[in-house]
Amino acid sequence: MTKKFRVELIKDRCKGCELCTSVCSRHLLKMDTHLNHKGYASVTIENMDACIGCINCALICPDGAIEIFQLEEGDKE
Ligand code: SF4
Ligand code: SF4
């Protein structure tokens, strides 16, 4: 069975540095035009189903704004 992952973006911690977008080998992370409460363009994700759970994005984020969870069967995405 293919593993599935949930990428949780804590947008109000994001400072828009774009480090995470550069390390995602699947190119899933993009910058949003919507500004967070600090006034930064924050990160967003397209096609979360394609996430392979490598956690590169979470490891590189200097602000702890990304968390990755592996979904168990029956979990809500
Ligand atoms: S865990 Fe890996 S594949 Fe998933 S969004 Fe982050 S960098 Fe991309
Ligand atoms: S690495 Fe962290 S702070 Fe930088 S754009 Fe990504 S989520 Fe935002």
Which residues of the chain fall short of a pLDDT of 70?
1, 76-77
Structure confidence at residue 76 (pLDDT): 66
* Ligand 2 center–CA 37 separation, angstroms: 14
pLDDT value for 2: 82
Residue 56 · residue 23 · CB < 8 Å = yes
Closest CA to ligand 1's atom 2? 54
Domain ranges of the chain: 4-71
Q: Is the CB of 14 under 6 A from ligand 1?
A: no
Q: What class is the 4-71 domain?
A: alpha beta
Name every protein residue with a CB atom under 6 angstroms from any ligand 2 atom: 14-20, 43, 60-61, 63, 65-66
pTM for this one? 0.92
pLDDT, position 77: 60
